[in-house]
Structure 1
Amino acid sequence: MAKQQYRTRPDGTVYPITPKKGGGAKVFVSAVAVVAAVGGGAATGLGGAGIEAGSAVEALPGNLSGDVADSLPGRSLKTRKAEGRKSAQRGRKSETFGRFKLKQLKQKAEHELECLAAATDRVQDYLAEHRCTSLDRGLYAVGDGHGNAAAISLVRVGFPKRSDATGGRKVEQVQGSGDIKPLGGAVLGLAGLSFSGHHFGSRVDRRTLVVAEAETVDGHLDDGTLDALADVSVWFPRV
């Protein structure tokens, strides 16, 4: 059995690094759920993730309108996830988020050709040996209309061959192996946004590696919903 390894968070607490099961990955992207309570309390994300106190409320004033309808009333999370994936595959972002009683508030996307400078640790080492052909990064803010909001960050890394994308995904299956940095929260007015990597999804789309991550920052989204948001977001055709 491999020796247990540990990492230290910025606040000084220590946590174990464990392999990810089920083909998931923390690193190449983040589908982040940024949740802000009405009134702007202090950030309370898990694993050191968070934003500056009150910044989500200030940046997302449209999330207090109470106008979000439930597109699947009375349905289970399993059904919401299944229907959300279908909507995501069709590229219907608003419909996808609506499956989880959320609406899109803001978005930002960037297309780049250089990946290496945006990578860290073992992920960067992999990209140094396997050239990427493109890097698409997107960050979305969604909310429930009652002060709880989510920012979704999505990254697609293109490679010359499918085997390169598959190999990159394997590197990402171990938490702590590095990162392709998501767009900073400042692009949506969410200063200091950071992610823990506890809720993520990944897949290989032909010659492209796609990874998504979800994170509660303030307010509350249950773990199942965070996992589902990450799992369906990786099915968007392109950021």
Structure 2
Amino acid sequence: MEAGTVAEALPGNVSGDVVDSLPGRSLKTRTSEARKSAERGRKRETFGRFKLKQLKQAVRHETECLTAATGRVRDYLARHRCTALDRALYAIGDGHGNAAAISVVRVGFPKKSDATGCEKVEEVQGSGDLKPLGAAALGLAGFSFSGHHYDSRIDKRTLVIAEAETVAGHLDVGTLDALAEVSVWFPRL
């Protein structure tokens, strides 16, 4: 994505007003503290643990899962009815032009075993996907999720999937992985 386009789409990412809520702490400590914040639904605090701030968000609640799935994941959903699909997309940045997008997808099922089965199919790279909301939902273009910075978990009868990807500048691999790891703990969107 071109820098000018990102700056226009995410104007709050060039102000430099991000506060480090854990100065001098390691990524492991930041991740642990961010998970606690995420579990409480405190997104601002969660991102602040990584010296980042939320710039934009888009959330969509749906009941149709097949249209949002591809490959073997779609095949699985054709045999195992989903009860709800919630997708969220967050743009976050450090206030110095470095930005990432985080996708969180929650798929509800009638039984926990259905959610677990879907997770087993979805976590295999190249098996298909539960598509994140498109970048256009945040006014961004020119990036897609690679699946390299990914985490998932089962929350009762719900499969929760999170992915993170750089959209501008540079965020290190460890931070992107940690962002996905903590974002799966956000409560219902």
Give TM-score scaled by structure 1 length.
0.77
Aligned equivalent of 1:113, options 63, 75, 86:
63
Q: Secondary structure at the match of 1:63?
A: helix
Name the structure 2 match of 1:224: 174
Aligned residue number for residue 209 of structure 1: 159
2-structure distance, mates of 1:185, 1:167:
28
Q: Report if the CA contact (8 A) 1:186-1:192 is conserved.
A: no
Which residue number in structure 1 is paired with residue 24 of structure 2? Answer: 74
Q: Identity of aligned pairs, percent?
A: 79
Aligned to 2:14: 64
Q: Indicate the larger mover: 92-101 or 218-227.
A: 218-227
What CA distance in whole angstroms lies between the structure 1 residues aligned with 2:98 and 2:3? 14
> Structure 1 stretch 141-150 or stretch 129-138: which is displaced more?
141-150
1:32 is matched with which residue? none
**Shift of residue 218 of structure 1?**
2.9
Structure 1 unaligned spans of 5+: 1-50
SS of residue matched to 2:167: coil
- One-letter amino acid of the structure 2 residue matched with residue 232 of structure 1: V
Q: Distance in 2 between matches of 1:238 and 1:151?
A: 19
Matched, 1:164 2:100: no
Given residue 97 of structure 1, which amino acid in structure 2 is its aligned partner? F
Contact 1:107 1:139 in 2 (8 A): yes
- Taking the aligned partners of 2:119 and 2:159, their CA distance within structure 1 comes to 7
Q: Is the 8 A contact 2:101 2:167 kept in 1?
A: no
How many correspondences in the alignment? Answer: 189
Map of 1:196 onto structure 2: 146
- Give the number of the structure whose residues are more often helix, by fraction: 2
Query: Which aligned runs of 4 or more in structure 1 are off by greater than 3 angstroms?
Result: 51-54
Q: Which amino acid aligns with 2:110?
A: P
Report the alpha carbon displacement of residue 55 of structure 1 after superposing the two structures with TM.
2.3
Does the CA contact (< 8 Å) of 2:52 and 2:92 recur in 1? yes
The Cα of 1:54 is off from its aligned counterpart by 3.4
CA distance in structure 2 between the aligned counterparts of 1:175 and 1:225, rounded to whole angstroms: 21
Deviations 1:188-207 (A, max 9, x none): 11023311111111000000
Q: Separation in 2 of the partners of 1:129 and 1:112?
A: 18
Which of 163, 186, 189 is matched with 1:236 structurally?
186
Higher relative contact order (CA 8 A, sep 6+): 1
Q: Deviations over 1:51-105 (max 9, x none)?
A: 3563222100111111001000000000000000000000000000000000111
Aligned to 2:80: 130
Counterpart of 1:37 in structure 2 is none
CA offset at residue 119 of structure 1? 0.7
Which amino acid is 1:120 matched to? Answer: T
> What is the CA–CA distance in structure 2 between the aligned matches of 1:126 and 1:52, rounded to whole Å?
37
CA deviation after TM superposition for structure 1 residue 213, in Å = 0.7
1:147 equivalent in structure 2: 97
1:90: which partner in 2? 40
SS of 1:215's equivalent in the other structure is strand
Counterpart of 2:22, as a letter, is: L
Q: CA RMSD in A?
A: 1.1
Task: Tell me the distance in 2 between the aligned counterparts of 1:52 and 1:196.
Answer: 18
